Amino acid sequence: MERAIVIRHKGEELTASIHYPAKEGSSGRCKNRVPLVVICHGFIGSRIGVDRLFVKAARELAGDGYMVIRFDYIGCGESSGNYGAQDVESMIAQTRTVLDYGLGCADVDPTRVTLIGHSLGGAVALLTAVRDRRVKNLVLWAAVGYPFNDIVKIVGREAYDQAVQTGAADHAGFSFTPVYFNSLAEFQPFQEAGKFGGDVLVIHGTSDDVIPVDYAFLYQKLFWTRADGRCDKEIIFQADHTFSSGPAQQQLFKRTKEWMNEQEHLQEEWQNWMI
């Protein structure tokens, strides 16, 4: 079962969809509680995703027993506000507000929380996880590594220059302010990767012409340098930035679910050992 909801954040309305798990919660310390997954979309995206990527992912995960929330950042999808007037700090705060909502649901286990982030949403998910210890696992799909360079490459240097000179620039019908661009330069996900202590899965496609597949290898290398937490990597042959082909989506969902279910199994074993 799934339903549309509205989550309020600092005077704005974040439109979201919540997917309820098809299976009951696990046994152990938090019997009948279910794990929570929050999906973070990318640059000027929405909770639906290209080719319904996030809808399909949420339904797959709900079928495996996860409660899933996918949402639109301010100014995206059906949410209120102006996306281009926000900054990265705001996107982190919005993600934490959605976590607040999800963890406020009666059946959610607060010790089993995962953020899935795609593209710029991957960078935001990582930055959120570093700042919010409630996040235990991270799944990064084609994640941005250098927010300023990666996004300016997408919108074009002319749009950035125009925003700086005139106070706003149009891209795909969105009005971007210097505040947005300046905040991208302030955050460096690669430098912050080592601060997250949980487990990570990195997935990227070899035919991604938006965000280089090399980022996946660098992310894994950086996550490996940590004292705690593991990092696994999956490279999908000929997958593009949005995993748009049928085989790419199938492999993306299969690997994500396998990895997350493995984390669940390890968590349950640990809880039973503690009991």
Supply the pTM of this predicted model: 0.94
Residue at 254 is within a domain: yes
Question: Contact 102/248 with Cβ under 8 angstroms?
Answer: no
- Is 173 a domain residue? no
* pLDDT tens digit sequence for 257-274: 999 999 887 766 655 555
- Residue 24's pLDDT is 62
Which residue pairs, CB below 8 angstroms and at least 24 apart, start in 209-216?
209/240, 209/241, 210/119, 210/142, 210/150, 210/154, 210/241, 211/119, 211/142, 211/143, 211/144, 211/145, 211/150, 211/241, 215/143, 215/144, 215/145, 216/143
Domain coverage including residue 53: 2-151+188-274
Structural domain contains residue 110: yes
Q: What is the pLDDT of residue 142?
A: 98
Evaluate whether residue 48 is within a structural domain: yes
CATH of the domain at 37: 3.40.50.1820
pLDDT on residue 269? 63
Q: Is residue 224 domain-resident?
A: yes
Burial of 107 (0-12, 13-18, 19+ CB in 10 A): middle
| Model pLDDT, residue 264 | 83
Written as one string, the DSSP assignment of 65-111 is T-EEEEEPPTTSTT--S-GGG--HHHHHHHHHHHHHHHHTSTTEEEE
For residue 40, is it within any domain?
yes
Helix axes 147-155, 157-166, angle to 10 degrees: 100
Number of folded domains that form the chain: 1
Q: Is residue 180 part of a domain?
A: no
Q: Which residues of the chain have pLDDT under 50?
A: 26-30, 275
Is residue 182 in some structural domain?
Answer: no
